[in-house]
Amino acid sequence: MTSVFQQALGDDFDRLHPELQRRLGVDGERDQGCVGMGTMDRVWRGGAFTAPFLHAGTLRHILFPETGANIPFTIENYAYPDTYGRPTLTFVRTFQVRPHRRRRFDATMVYHPGRNVVVDYLGTTQHLAVDLDVSTDGQGGLRIRSGAQVFRGGLRCPRLVLGDAEVRESWDDAAGCFRIRVTVTNRRFGPLFGYHGTFRASYVRAGSPVPAAVLPLRENPA
């Protein structure tokens, strides 16, 4: 399979830093997966009005209301063909927000060739599909910006509750680690949620089983 990000970026994929090329090139043939572990320097949210919205997101592993500094972080990217045969990449992020509490932010990504976008299916039930514009930042890094958001069944997400996300990921040569920054904002209410920090990655050899825990419910045989 050709990786989701290679399909989306085309020739620009070669403009990524080699470390990012390997991480985002996970396709099940060279590497089955990539597991990153590190620390988020800060996890934040907007004003108090965002708390109910973020808390509701915990029911489907999308968003969460906890904030803090120096939060242990894991990101699990595994490649597999979904039930439609499409190359798919998991993006399962786990935050150890309290000593005895973990929060997850689950997504699976596929490439839509007709519209030349990556479609990000959010949550354990994939009930929200988000178009992603993927590009390089001119310095070897990756930039992702969200676009249209559609609920299962084709209903567009109302602009009033729409969250516009921007993700920036890069490789820090001096520190020998990946850097990531995520910001979610609303055009009316302002900043909603975000985090930034660093992590290092290890790779899972091709042919290894994809852990059931990172799969959305419809793909999970358990």
Q: What is the pLDDT of residues 59-108, one digit of tens each?
A: 889 889 999 999 999 999 999 999 889 999 999 999 999 999 999 999 99
pLDDT at 162 over 70: no
Which band of pLDDT confidence, cut at 50, 70 and 90, is reported for residue 159?
A: low
Determine the Cα–Cα distance for residues 184 and 191; give it in Å rounded to an integer: 6
Per-residue confidence (pLDDT) for residue 158, from 0 to 100:
61
pLDDT tens digits for 121-133? 998 888 789 999 9
pLDDT value, residue 220:
65
pLDDT for 189 equals: 81
Q: Is the dihedral of CA 108, 111, 114, 119 positive or negative?
A: positive
Q: Is the pLDDT of residue 55 over 90?
A: no
Give the pLDDT score at 53.
80
Position 197, amino acid: G
pLDDT digits (tens, 9 = 90+) for 191-221: 999 999 999 999 999 999 999 999 987 776 6
Dump strand ranges (E) for 59-189.
Answer: 68-81, 87-98, 101-112, 117-122, 128-136, 142-151, 164-172, 177-186
Higher pLDDT, 89 or 1: 89
Mean per-residue pLDDT, 160-183:
92
Average pLDDT over residues 25-31: 96
The phi-psi region of residue 113 (left if phi > 0; otherwise alpha if psi is between -120 and 50; otherwise beta) is alpha
